[in-house]
């Protein structure tokens, strides 16, 4: 037993805490939900090692369950060929090693164990299986015929065995036929003899080989040591309710009308202030808590931690693990404290001086008091004035920690019995093995444990998906044709979000002559934005950026009076509703109110539950009565250099604006061929009764709604001064090109347009056409989305589908207002024409990028920097929340309970639940993001090299990277050693006229299909060369 | 058909409808072939709708004859000499409006839950329990004898406990369910004993022999002593379901269940079941000043306790749980004061308001943001009078009291649970020692 090697000096407490904090969930307050890689702390390790490593630290699942993969195998989602391929690829060298005296190769063993489930049971359950089932009479039912006959045959002619010692499929077919005929006679008898003989051979084998013995390191936390000797005693169950109450009270952002006193002194001192007093009863375990907290007064948290660790008797070598596990025991709350410490600016309402050391110190005091109680209950007498000597009790508990006994003899024999059948070894074969060979064989079987099998299954699972996508791309590029030189009727720039894929496809399918582009949905406009109805500015840009500009929405001059009226009315209404909702909870006001007017609540109750869409409409028009008469504009242009109070500048200057416009147009390759009207659509999602609402919004806007960015971008691109500056930089926007901003609601499938009245008269017809195309496309999009909802019938018309999704977005009872990013799996960075007309099932982030205009690779580098971490963050958060719905995800939404306005708990007092709820990931297929880039391998590597955050993802394969040759259309997949050309399986995607023909009547994920109506201008067979 | 027959029919329909749905969705599930989601919700919805509509019809007819009560004799369970146990229902100015209200609310929550629980494992179980709850509720409300009332009361209790433990894979949920169930069972002793006393006093459990069923103008037909004993027992019985001190600890924990069941049980119906029973027996209470005084005392105490503790709760559902507790206590006080219509109106108003609040509790962030936007900033928090008048040390001490939930649980676990557990431990140890001695082994051998 030796300590884990540490990168840190074990004496450096701060470093240990920092290292441990790294493992805490990095999710901030829930009102701004930002997708991130759940295992961000492990990104420096290769993906497959990292998930296994993380599972051992967090006690979580590394992959899906084996039975789930076996189901996928049974349904053809994983194919036998995939398993062969990953086995081939995975362990090329030692897999050739021979086992069991040359009877089989290691790889054959692995293949058999993957294709056939083998039960690993305890001695007791084996005993039951042996008596209650016919495993000793009948061979396994899933044996391949030739194996089955070999086993039976062996019994018939012992002499014939030598000829068949090689398990290869080279067996003489004729021989097999004859043995088949003979084996048929009295087969039941023979089968019983063979099977039982094999069982006895396995039992004998167990007698000569050694029993496996596993020495485990005893746990470092007292709680785990105590539980090991006294399973009824869980000190965490004593400590957690109190600790949760204190953390929740400390971090509360305004749920409680009575805030915790003395929060400004930190959690430890605030808790001590409440609990150190002599007054007030305690629970039996916490009798000594007041004294322990009194001792903390006047000490810093660090001093308390050192004292407590000493009293708990944790040796230096164990301290890193001890601190990490202590923090992880209540990781949600610890993580939230840490988030408040690191990003105080993200506190939803008020900043509190939360520090992780305070939490740790408090937790250790509580842990120590609880451990002492447990010791007293276990009859440990107090020694000296310090009370109980926990250090020596800890040593005693570690000594008593039960060793992990490996599987018993019966269990091992049973495993060998099953495996031997599968590889075609008879009792005779087993007996012929010497001790060494037997041991090697058994080790080979047990080494290929559930985790190894699940890892390979997962690789096979991802491989099938990859092949499905890459084959479709390879086939599609051959029929797609580059864009003509003339500008199209209209162009729409959207977010890369995979939920926009279907909208774009429908626009292209229904609005002939419309082109679409994808770029990160903040449209290169990083800003703090305060809308007319907002009470404070919020950042609208990726989380890694901190905006240095603030943009306000202000009423137009002629609307100022209306605005004032509106604001006053709103304020009155707010005061009324606020005092009603608070008042209804109090004693006297609540009594009066509920007795006198409570019944009136029946109106909203019935309306909201029974007629959600109607109720929402009425509510909205009521709220809009005054709002509608206010015209607004963005206060976008900065006149002077004067910064605002918060250090940001109000608005942008012309240079900055020109830079942003140029950046986006260059990124998406739209520097020429601009059409008369270019729409810029941000996106957001509106839903009710949904604490995770922000998780459905735009990731590139830091979990905000991207409409204002689109609106700002359009205003900038329309500005004459900006255009002038752009011309100077060599980017010419034609005079008759106008930009129009808007926002797509991905939940209700509607578009709100901004500043339409600012369009010149000449463009009204274009705008009308644009509106029509978009409204048809949103209905079609709603229709396509409805196929996923069981509550939407298959025969809905697009209009009915639109009504259905609108109702979803306002329904209080709806826990799946939309499915969010649950379908994400692919990211394609490249020219749209190469994928246009391909049904990608809302599963692909589509990033517009034109390699032909990117001479030196700078555009690719900045595109990857913007898209890589956001896309991978979304993908990996869904990945892990799906893999382990309780460990990484937030479990089901139904018992979720908003606490402190910062997060959700399960029920009335649990750890904060981080990650995504089950309802969001339910249909998700966890595969690493398949990033296909329309660029040469060398260009991709150079670009990735330039962005450390992306390089880490690529090199450690947290994303699957594919190069799509811009000229030849050839694909190559990035593997451990570098890019390797991809060989297509040659399947052609199915061909349909319209998307609806393909998805109609299906709820499940669908493979890509070619949609002829989407191909522009006409299906051609010209080949894919640019 | 006379109005008598018609009302009898409607009353039976109010009871039979939820029972029939319970059977139609319960039996296939029992056979291992549960119905689909849509069929399940639709059937349960039809059951509640039928209950609601027949309730409304009965209300109209009753109203037409100025709420003259109607007793529906279903069956006689047994009769021995002068003693009989009947299964009687009553339709009067209390029961029929209450059935409309409870069936209507169940109907609404059923519609909500159908979407809310979509694809959840345990979907059928939820609706079976909801139907059981609805049937039990109607049975309790319509009961014209304390035995029938007890049967309905027990259906409420078991469905409530099972729904708290709906997510039975989570330890906390099961513990909370067990806690609620234990509390209920302890208080159920009240009704059970009351039933024995009533039977002894009047030879039957029928309410019309205890007091004329002419709500709200019933007159007590038994002696003041009997009235006091029965009333006190009933008051004790209601303490559990109404979450009165010292039986309130289960209520915040009950929020472990799915949101719709929390809304209908702990915001609306189950929490007011006790108040309904007391309202039903108001004629007895009238003759029992002692019982009324104790109601006022306990109700006031709990109201203060709950409103104090509720102020420091930091999660939405606990805030709402304590808000419910506050109002439920107030209602008990109102009943204690001898009022009749006011508490009934209060029950209905509070139930509707609170269930709406609980149903939309996941909207808290949204609501809060809109409120802040309207006000131009977050509403400040802080104490109002009289707390704000106290010196800071008092306030801090009170905060601690509130954070520890008024020390109620500590007191219960130290003064009641602890001694019982210790006694049982000692009994177990004694039994072990006794057996060891009997079997002739020395203690040393057993180690």
Asked casually if ipTM beats, i.e. exceeds, 0.90, the reply is yes
| Residues of B with Cβ-Cβ distance to A259 under 8 angstroms | 381-382
Please confirm whether the linkage preceding A1017 is cis (ω < 30° from 0).
yes
Residue-by-residue DSSP string for B59-107:
HHHHHHTTT--EEEEEEEEEEETTEEEEEEEEESTTHHHHHHHHHHHHH
Hey, are the CB atoms on B413 and A284 less than 8 Å from each other? Answer: yes
The answer to whether A78 touches A461, Cβ cutoff 8 Å, is: yes
* Domain range list for chain A: 74-213+407-449, 222-400, 563-627
| Residues of A with Cβ-Cβ distance to B304 under 8 angstroms | 587
Cα dist from A631 to A277, A563, A621, B320, whole Å: 59, 9, 17, 40
What is the distance between the alpha carbons of residues A56 and A61, in angstroms, rounded to a whole number? 9
Work out the minimum CA distance from B5 to partner chain A, whole angstroms. 32
Hey, are the CB atoms on B374 and A896 less than 8 Å from each other? Answer: no
- What confidence score (pLDDT) does residue A188 get? 76
Residue-by-residue DSSP string for A5-53:
P-SS-TT-HHHHHHHHHTTS-----TTS-----TTGGGTTS-HHHHHHH
**What is the average per-residue pLDDT within A392-418?**
86
**What is the average per-residue pLDDT within A991-995?**
94
- H/E stretch holding A951: helix A948-955
- What confidence score (pLDDT) does residue A910 get? 92
- What confidence score (pLDDT) does residue A154 get? 66
Hey, are the CB atoms on A259 and B382 less than 8 Å from each other? Answer: yes
Mutate to test the interface with B, among A573, A908, A922, A923 (most CBs of B within 10 A): A908
In this predicted model, what pLDDT tens digit does every residue of A438-454 receive, in sequence order?
888 888 888 888 999 99
Of B307, B346, B374, the CB nearest to A594: B346
**Residue for token digits 């509360």?**
A252
Above 50 in pLDDT, residue A82? yes
| Residues of A with Cβ-Cβ distance to B357 under 8 angstroms | 581, 584
Q: Which two tokens stand for residue A1009?
A: 């299909």
- What confidence score (pLDDT) does residue A879 get? 97
Helices A390-400 and A301-312 meet at what angle, rounded to 10? 50
Hey, are the CB atoms on A261 and B399 less than 8 Å from each other? Answer: yes
Could you tell me which chain A residue has the CA closest to the CA of B313?
A256
For chain B, the straight-line distance linking the first and the last C-alpha, in angstroms and rounded, comes to 79
**What is the average per-residue pLDDT within B365-392?**
79
What is the distance between the alpha carbons of residues A288 and A282, in angstroms, rounded to a whole number? 9
Q: What share of chain A is helix, strand, coil (3-state, %, to 5)?
A: 50, 10, 40
Q: For residue A317, give the 3-state DSSP assignment.
A: helix
- What confidence score (pLDDT) does residue A168 get? 38
Hey, are the CB atoms on A595 and B326 less than 8 Å from each other? Answer: no
Above 50 in pLDDT, residue A237? yes
For Cα atoms B375, B378, B379, give the angle at the middle one, nearest 5 degrees. 80
Nearest C-alpha neighbor of A436 from the set A230, A724, A590, A208: A208
List helix spans (H) across A75-167: 80-90, 106-115, 123-132, 145-156
The answer to whether A404 touches A214, Cβ cutoff 8 Å, is: yes
- What confidence score (pLDDT) does residue A742 get? 96
Above 50 in pLDDT, residue A80? yes
**Residue for token digits 């609880």?**
A370
In this predicted model, what pLDDT tens digit does every residue of B163-175 receive, in sequence order?
999 999 888 999 9
Nearest C-alpha neighbor of B162 from the set B172, B177, B150, B176: B177
The answer to whether A564 touches A587, Cβ cutoff 8 Å, is: no
In this predicted model, what pLDDT tens digit does every residue of B182-206 receive, in sequence order?
999 999 999 999 999 999 998 888 8
Of A279, A535, A584, the CB nearest to B323: A584
What is the distance between the alpha carbons of residues A801 and A684, in angstroms, rounded to a whole number? 19
Nearest C-alpha neighbor of A585 from the set B268, B272, B324: B324
Hey, are the CB atoms on B326 and A262 less than 8 Å from each other? Answer: no
The answer to whether A494 touches A630, Cβ cutoff 8 Å, is: no
Of B348, B357, B404, the CB nearest to A599: B348
Above 90 in pLDDT, residue B133? yes
**Residue for token digits 């061909």?**
A991
- Burial of A413 per CB tally in 10 Å (0-12, 13-18, 19+): buried
Hey, are the CB atoms on B376 and A535 less than 8 Å from each other? Answer: yes
**Residue for token digits 């090329």?**
A92
What is the distance between the alpha carbons of residues B423 and A213, in angstroms, rounded to a whole number? 44
- What confidence score (pLDDT) does residue B337 get? 94
List CB contacts of A679: < 8 A, sequence separation 6 or more: A490, A491, A492, A493, A739, A740, A741, A742, A770, A774
| Residues of A with Cβ-Cβ distance to B257 under 8 angstroms | 895, 907
Hey, are the CB atoms on B399 and A599 less than 8 Å from each other? Answer: no
Question: Residue B1 — very low, low, confident or very high, per pLDDT cuts 50/70/90?
Answer: low
Could you tell me which chain B residue has the CA closest to the CA of A686?
B366
In this predicted model, what pLDDT tens digit does every residue of A865-889 receive, in sequence order?
988 889 999 999 999 999 999 999 9
What is the distance between the alpha carbons of residues A338 and B90, in angstroms, rounded to a whole number? 61
- Ranking A172-186, A592-606, A742-756, A810-824 by mean pLDDT, the lowest is A172-186
Above 90 in pLDDT, residue A587? no
Work out the minimum CA distance from B107 to partner chain A, whole angstroms. 10
- Ranking A157-166, A361-370, B340-349 by mean pLDDT, the lowest is A157-166
Question: Residue A210 — very low, low, confident or very high, per pLDDT cuts 50/70/90?
Answer: low
Max mean pLDDT among A409-423, A550-564, B256-270, B285-299 falls in: B285-299
The fraction of chain A above a pLDDT of 90, given in percent, is 59
Residue B187 dihedral angles phi and psi, to the nearest 5°: -75, -25
Above 70 in pLDDT, residue A685? yes
Work out the minimum CA distance from A900 to partner chain B, whole angstroms. 5
Of B118, B172, B365, the CB nearest to A901: B365
In this predicted model, what pLDDT tens digit does every residue of A501-519 receive, in sequence order?
999 999 999 877 899 999 9
The answer to whether B133 touches B127, Cβ cutoff 8 Å, is: no
Above 60 in pLDDT, residue A159? no
- What confidence score (pLDDT) does residue B298 get? 96
- What confidence score (pLDDT) does residue A5 get? 42
Q: What is the pTM of this model?
A: 0.93
Q: Which two tokens stand for residue A529?
A: 């934005």
Nearest C-alpha neighbor of A158 from the set A416, A420, A429: A429
- What confidence score (pLDDT) does residue A175 get? 43
Hey, are the CB atoms on A907 and B172 less than 8 Å from each other? Answer: yes
The 3-class secondary structure across B347-409, one letter per residue, is: HHHHHHHHHHHHHCHHHHHHHHHHHHHHHCCCCCCCCCCCHHHCCHHHHHHHHHHHHCHHHHH
Of B109, B378, B399, the CB nearest to A258: B399
**What is the average per-residue pLDDT within A716-727?**
95
| Residues of A with Cβ-Cβ distance to B406 under 8 angstroms | none
What is the distance between the alpha carbons of residues A100 and A119, in angstroms, rounded to a whole number? 21
The number of C-beta contacts closer than 8 angstroms across A and B is 280
Question: Residue A181 — very low, low, confident or very high, per pLDDT cuts 50/70/90?
Answer: very low
Could you tell me which chain B residue has the CA closest to the CA of A279?
B397
Of B172, B350, B414, the CB nearest to A910: B172
| Residues of B with Cβ-Cβ distance to A610 under 8 angstroms | 108, 111
For Cα atoms A201, A205, A206, give the angle at the middle one, nearest 5 degrees. 120
- What confidence score (pLDDT) does residue A216 get? 78
- What confidence score (pLDDT) does residue A93 get? 66
Could you tell me which chain A residue has the CA closest to the CA of B411?
A281
- Ranking A159-173, A427-441, A827-841, B344-358 by mean pLDDT, the lowest is A159-173
Hey, are the CB atoms on A897 and B396 less than 8 Å from each other? Answer: no
Question: Residue A160 — very low, low, confident or very high, per pLDDT cuts 50/70/90?
Answer: very low
The answer to whether B436 touches B443, Cβ cutoff 8 Å, is: yes
- Ranking A573-587, A722-736, A863-877, B37-51 by mean pLDDT, the lowest is A573-587
Hey, are the CB atoms on A791 and B173 less than 8 Å from each other? Answer: no
The answer to whether B323 touches A585, Cβ cutoff 8 Å, is: yes
Q: Which two tokens stand for residue A11?
A: 């004496």
Work out the minimum CA distance from A578 to partner chain B, whole angstroms. 7
- Ranking A404-408, A477-481, A591-595, A841-845 by mean pLDDT, the lowest is A404-408
Could you tell me which chain A residue has the CA closest to the CA of B360?
A689
Cα dist from A401 to A378, A398, A838, A1004, B44, whole Å: 15, 5, 60, 49, 54
- What confidence score (pLDDT) does residue A166 get? 40
Hey, are the CB atoms on B119 and A790 less than 8 Å from each other? Answer: yes
Work out the minimum CA distance from A22 to partner chain B, whole angstroms. 27
**Residue for token digits 């059935």?**
B99
The answer to whether A284 touches B408, Cβ cutoff 8 Å, is: no
**What is the average per-residue pLDDT within A476-493?**
91
Number of Cβ atoms within 10 Å of the Cβ of A534 = 16
In this predicted model, what pLDDT tens digit does every residue of B312-335 receive, in sequence order?
999 999 999 999 999 999 999 999
In this predicted model, what pLDDT tens digit does every residue of B15-67 receive, in sequence order?
999 999 999 999 999 999 999 999 999 999 999 999 999 999 999 999 988 88
Of B170, B253, B372, the CB nearest to A535: B372
Question: Residue A2 — very low, low, confident or very high, per pLDDT cuts 50/70/90?
Answer: very low
Above 80 in pLDDT, residue A27? yes
| Residues of B with Cβ-Cβ distance to A912 under 8 angstroms | none
Above 90 in pLDDT, residue A400? no
- A11 or A556, greater pLDDT: A556
Question: Residue A999 — very low, low, confident or very high, per pLDDT cuts 50/70/90?
Answer: very high
Work out the minimum CA distance from A39 to partner chain B, whole angstroms. 25
The answer to whether A562 touches A555, Cβ cutoff 8 Å, is: yes
Cα dist from A515 to A673, A770, B55, B393, whole Å: 11, 11, 61, 69
Residue A751 dihedral angles phi and psi, to the nearest 5°: -120, 130
What is the distance between the alpha carbons of residues A92 and A80, in angstroms, rounded to a whole number? 18
Q: Are strands A677-684 and A490-495 parallel, antiparallel or unpaired?
A: parallel
What is the distance between the alpha carbons of residues B219 and A807, in angstroms, rounded to a whole number? 53
Could you tell me which chain A residue has the CA closest to the CA of B322?
A585
Of B116, B346, B399, the CB nearest to A813: B116
Hey, are the CB atoms on A575 and B366 less than 8 Å from each other? Answer: no
In this predicted model, what pLDDT tens digit does every residue of B215-235 receive, in sequence order?
888 888 889 999 999 999 999
What is the distance between the alpha carbons of residues A396 and A399, in angstroms, rounded to a whole number? 5
Of A262, A602, A895, the CB nearest to B257: A895
The answer to whether A661 touches A725, Cβ cutoff 8 Å, is: no
- What confidence score (pLDDT) does residue A386 get? 67
List CB contacts of A139: < 8 A, sequence separation 6 or more: A148, A151, A152, A191, A194, A195, A421
What is the distance between the alpha carbons of residues B320 and B109, in angstroms, rounded to a whole number? 17
Of B115, B170, B349, the CB nearest to A814: B115
What is the distance between the alpha carbons of residues B414 and B272, in angstroms, rounded to a whole number? 29
What is the distance between the alpha carbons of residues B306 and B249, in angstroms, rounded to a whole number? 11
Question: Residue A214 — very low, low, confident or very high, per pLDDT cuts 50/70/90?
Answer: low
For chain A, the straight-line distance linking the first and the last C-alpha, in angstroms and rounded, comes to 63
The fraction of chain A above a pLDDT of 70, given in percent, is 93
Work out the minimum CA distance from B265 to partner chain A, whole angstroms. 15
In this predicted model, what pLDDT tens digit does every residue of B3-14 receive, in sequence order?
788 999 999 999
List CB contacts of A459: < 8 A, sequence separation 6 or more: A48, A86, A89, A90
Of A31, A570, A587, the CB nearest to B365: A31
In this predicted model, what pLDDT tens digit does every residue of A930-961 receive, in sequence order?
999 999 999 999 999 999 999 999 999 999 99
Averaged pLDDT score across all residues of chain A: 88
Above 80 in pLDDT, residue A531? yes
Q: For residue A404, give the 3-state DSSP assignment.
A: strand
């Amino acid at each position: 037993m030796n300590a884990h090697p540490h990168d840190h000096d074990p004496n450096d407490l701060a470093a240990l805490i920092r290292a441990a904090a790294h493992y805490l969930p990095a999710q901030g307050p829930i009102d701004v939900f930002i997708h991130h890689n759940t295992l961000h702390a492990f990104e420096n390790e290769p993906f497959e090692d990292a998930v296994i490593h993380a599972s051992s630290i967090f006690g979580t699942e590394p992959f899906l369950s084996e039975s789930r993969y076996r189901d996928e195998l049974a349904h053809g989602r994983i194919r036998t060929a995939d398993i062969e391929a990953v086995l081939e690829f995975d362990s090329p060298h030692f897999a050739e090693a021979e086992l069991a005296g040359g009877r089989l190769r290691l790889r054959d063993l692995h293949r058999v164990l993957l294709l056939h489930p083998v039960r690993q049971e305890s001695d007791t359950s084996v005993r039951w299986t042996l008596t209650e089932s016919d495993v000793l009479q009948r061979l396994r039912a899933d044996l391949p015929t030739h194996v089955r006959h070999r086993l039976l045959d062996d019994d018939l002619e012992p002499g014939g065995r030598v000829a068949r010692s090689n398990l290869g499929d080279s067996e003489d077919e004729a021989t097999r036929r004859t043995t088949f005929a003979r084996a048929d006679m009295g087969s039941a008898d023979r089968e019983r003899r063979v099977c039982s003989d094999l069982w006895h051979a396995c039992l004998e084998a167990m007698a000569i080989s050694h029993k496996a013995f596993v020495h485990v390191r005893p746990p470092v936390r007292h709680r785990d040591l105590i539980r090991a000797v006294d399973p009824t005693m869980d000190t965490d169950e004593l400590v957690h309710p109190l600790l949760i109450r204190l953390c929740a009270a400390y971090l509360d952002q305004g749920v409680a009308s009575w805030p915790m006193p003395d929060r400004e002194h930190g959690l430890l001192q605030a808790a001590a202030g409440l609990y150190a007093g002599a007054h007030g009863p305690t629970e039996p375990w916490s009798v000594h808590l007041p004294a322990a907290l009194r001792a903390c007064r006047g000490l810093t948290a660090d001093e308390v931690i050192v004292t407590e660790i000493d009293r708990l008797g944790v040796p230096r070598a164990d301290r890193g693990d001890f601190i990490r596990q202590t923090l992880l025991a209540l990781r949600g709350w610890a993580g939230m404290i840490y988030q408040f410490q690191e990003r105080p600016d993200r506190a939803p309402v008020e900043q509190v001086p939360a520090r992780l050391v305070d939490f740790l110190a408090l937790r250790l005091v509580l842990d120590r008091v609880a451990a002492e109680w447990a010791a007293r209950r276990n009859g440990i007498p107090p020694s000296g004035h310090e009370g109980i000597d926990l250090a020596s009790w800890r040593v005693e508990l570690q000594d008593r920690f039960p060793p992990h006994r490996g599987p018993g003899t019966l269990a091992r024999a049973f495993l060998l019995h099953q495996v031997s059948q599968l590889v075609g070894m008879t009792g005779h074969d087993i007996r012929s093995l010497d001790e060494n060979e037997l041991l090697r064989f058994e080790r080979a079987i047990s080494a290929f444990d559930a985790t190894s099998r699940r890892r390979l299954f997962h690789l096979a699972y991802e491989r099938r998906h990859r092949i499905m996508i890459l084959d479709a791309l390879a086939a599609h590029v051959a029929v797609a044709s580059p864009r003509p030189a003339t500008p199209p009727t209209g162009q729409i720039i959207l977010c890369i979000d995979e939920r926009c894929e279907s909208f774009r496809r429908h626009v292209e399918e229904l609005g002939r002559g419309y082109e679409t582009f994808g770029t990160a949905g903040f449209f290169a406009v990083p800003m703090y934005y305060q809308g007319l109805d907002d009470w404070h500015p919020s950042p609208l840009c990726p989380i890694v950026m901190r905006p240095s500009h603030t943009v306000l929405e202000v009423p137009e001059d002629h609307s100022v009076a209306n605005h004032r009226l509106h604001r006053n009315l709103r304020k009155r209404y707010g005061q009324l509703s606020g005092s009603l909702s608070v008042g209804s909870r109090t004693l006297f006001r609540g009594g009066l109110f509920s007795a006198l007017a409570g019944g009136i609540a029946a109106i909203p109750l019935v309306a909201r539950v029974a007629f959600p869409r109607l109720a929402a409409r009425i509510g909205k028009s009521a709220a809009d009565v005054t709002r509608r008469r206010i015209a607004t504009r963005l206060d976008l242009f900065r006149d002077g250099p004067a910064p605002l109070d918060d250090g940001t500048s109000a608005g942008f200057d012309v240079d900055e604006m020109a830079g942003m416009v140029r950046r986006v147009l260059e990124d998406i390759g739209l520097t020429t061929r601009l059409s008369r009207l270019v729409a810029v659509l941000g996106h957001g999602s509106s839903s009710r009764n949904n604490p995770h609402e922000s998780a459905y919004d735009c990731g590139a806007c830091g979990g905000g709604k991207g409409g204002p960015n689109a609106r700002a971008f359009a205003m900038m691109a329309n500005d004459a001064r900006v255009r002038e500056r752009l011309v100077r930089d060599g980017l010419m926007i034609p005079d008759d090109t106008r930009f129009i901003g808007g926002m797509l609601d991905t939940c209700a499938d509607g578009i709100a347009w901004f500043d339409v009245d600012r369009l010149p008269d000449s463009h009204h017809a274009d705008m009308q056409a644009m509106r029509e195309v978009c409204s048809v496309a949103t209905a079609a999009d709603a229709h396509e989305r409805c196929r996923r909802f069981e509550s939407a019938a298959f025969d809905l018309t697009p209009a009915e589908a639109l009504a259905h999704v609108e109702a979803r977005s306002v329904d209080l009872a709806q826990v799946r207002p939309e499915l969010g990013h649950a379908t994400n799996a692919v990211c394609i960075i490249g020219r749209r024409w190469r994928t246009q007309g391909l049904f990608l099932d809302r599963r692909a982030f589509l990033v517009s990028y034109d390699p032909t205009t990117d001479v030196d690779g700078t555009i690719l580098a900045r595109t990857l920097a913007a898209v890589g971490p956001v896309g991978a963050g979304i993908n990996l958060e869904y990945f892990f929340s799906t893999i382990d719905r309780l460990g990484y995800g937030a479990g089901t939404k139904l018992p979720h309970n908003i606490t402190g306005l910062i997060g959700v708990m399960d029920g009335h007092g649990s750890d904060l639940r981080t990650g995504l709820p089950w309802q969001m990931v339910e249909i998700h297929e966890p595969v690493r993001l398949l990033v296909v880039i329309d660029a040469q391998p060398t260009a991709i590597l150079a670009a990735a090299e330039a962005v450390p955050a992306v390089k880490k993802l690529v090199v450690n394969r947290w994303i699957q990277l594919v190069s799509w040759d811009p000229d030849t259309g050839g694909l190559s997949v990035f593997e451990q050693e570098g890019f390797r050309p991809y060989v297509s399986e040659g399947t052609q995607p199915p061909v349909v006229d319209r998307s609806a023909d393909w998805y109609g009547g299906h709820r499940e994920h669908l493979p890509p299909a070619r949609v002829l109506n989407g191909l522009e201008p006409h299906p051609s067979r010209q080949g894919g060369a640019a | 058909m006379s109005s008598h027959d018609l009302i009898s029919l409607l009353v039976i329909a109010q009871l039979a409808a939820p029972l029939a749905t319970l059977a139609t969705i319960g039996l296939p599930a029992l056979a291992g072939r549960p119905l689909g989601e849509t069929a399940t919700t639709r059937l349960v919805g039809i059951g509640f709708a039928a209950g609601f509509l027949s309730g409304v019809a009965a209300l109209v007819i009753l109203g037409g004859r100025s709420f003259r009560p109607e007793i529906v004799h279903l069956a006689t369970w047994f009769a021995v000499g002068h003693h009989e146990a009947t299964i009687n229902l009553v339709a009067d100015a209390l029961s029929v409006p209450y059935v409309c209200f409870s069936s209507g609310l169940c109907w609404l929550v059923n519609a909500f839950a159908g979407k809310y629980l979509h694809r959840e494992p345990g979907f059928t179980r939820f609706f079976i329990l909801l139907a059981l709850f609805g049937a039990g509720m109607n049975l309790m409300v319509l009961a014209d004898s304390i035995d029938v009332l007890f049967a309905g009361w027990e259906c409420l209790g078991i469905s409530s406990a099972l729904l708290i433990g709906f997510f039975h894979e989570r330890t906390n949920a099961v513990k909370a369910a067990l806690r609620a169930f234990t509390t209920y069972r302890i208080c159920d002793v009240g009704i059970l004993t009351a039933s024995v006393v009533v039977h002894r006093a009047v030879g039957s459990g029928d309410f019309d022999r205890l007091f004329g069923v002419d709500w709200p103008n019933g007159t007590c037909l038994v002696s003041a002593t009997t009235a006091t004993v029965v009333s006190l027992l009933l008051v004790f019985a209601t303490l559990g379901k109404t979450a009165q001190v010292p039986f309130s600890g289960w209520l915040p924990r009950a929020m472990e269940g799915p949101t719709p069941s929390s809304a209908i049980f702990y915001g609306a119906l189950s929490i007011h079941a006790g108040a309904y029973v007391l309202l039903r027996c108001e004629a007895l209470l009238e003759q029992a000043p002692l019982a009324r005084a104790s109601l006022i005392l306990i109700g006031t105490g709990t109201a203060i306790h709950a409103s104090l503790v509720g102020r420091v709760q930091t999660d939405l559902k606990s805030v709402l749980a304590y808000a419910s507790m506050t109002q439920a206590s107030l209602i008990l006080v109102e009943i204690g004061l001898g009022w009749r219509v006011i508490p009934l109106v209060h029950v209905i108003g509070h139930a509707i308001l609170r269930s709406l609040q609980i149903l939309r509790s996941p909207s808290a962030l949204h609501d809060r943001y809109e409120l802040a936007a309207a006000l131009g900033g977050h509403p400040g928090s802080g104490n109002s009078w009289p707390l704000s008048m106290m010196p800071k040390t008092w306030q801090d001490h009170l905060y601690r009291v509130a954070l520890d939930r008024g020390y109620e649980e500590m007191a219960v676990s130290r003064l009641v649970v602890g001694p019982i557990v210790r006694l049982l431990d000692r009994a177990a140890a004694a039994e072990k020692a006794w057996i060891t001695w009997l079997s002739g082994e020395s203690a040393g051998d057993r180690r």
